[in-house]
Amino acid sequence: MLSKEEFFKTGEIVNLAEAAVHEELQALIDRAEIEFCQCDKCLFDIACVVLNTIPSLYSSSIADRTYPSAEFKADYEKLKKLAAVEIPQAIERIRDRLHH
Ligand SMILES: [Zn+2]
């Protein structure tokens, strides 16, 4: 079996919750509705708070990701909606303890 570093570095295992959070965070920034620090450190913090809150959606099949089933697509859309709700809450939570 591959070492832990090699195992995960293959990129075969993907948590689509990460993509959902990134997509929704970018959408929120583009809408410019909420004012908050958008440096990498703060965005990493926000992403971690949200990722610890919403369920993960792991996939080890590039075929599933390239040609997702209706069920897979629905799961991803559900995660995006959850992320959209959780991101503003995460921003409020970390606002008072910024790292810079
Ligand atoms: Zn910042």
59: left (phi over 0), alpha (psi -120 to 50) or beta: beta
Distance in Å, CA 36 to ligand 1 centroid: 8
Contacts of 74 (CB under 8 A, 6+ apart): none
Burial 41-53 (b: 16+ CB within 10 A, else e): ebbebbbebbbeb
The dihedral of CA 72, 73, 76, 77: what is its sign? negative
Residue 98 has pLDDT above 80, yes or no: no
Rounded distance from Cα 54 to ligand 1 centre (Å): 23
- The per-residue pLDDT for 50 is 98
Report how far ligand 1's centroid is from the alpha carbon of 32 (Å). 16
Give per-residue pLDDT as tens, 19-74: 999 999 999 999 999 999 999 999 999 999 999 999 999 999 888 899 999 999 99
Q: Where are the domains of the chain?
A: 13-95
The rounded Å distance from CA 11 to ligand 1 centre is 28
pLDDT tens-place string over residues 70-96: 999 999 999 999 999 999 999 999 887
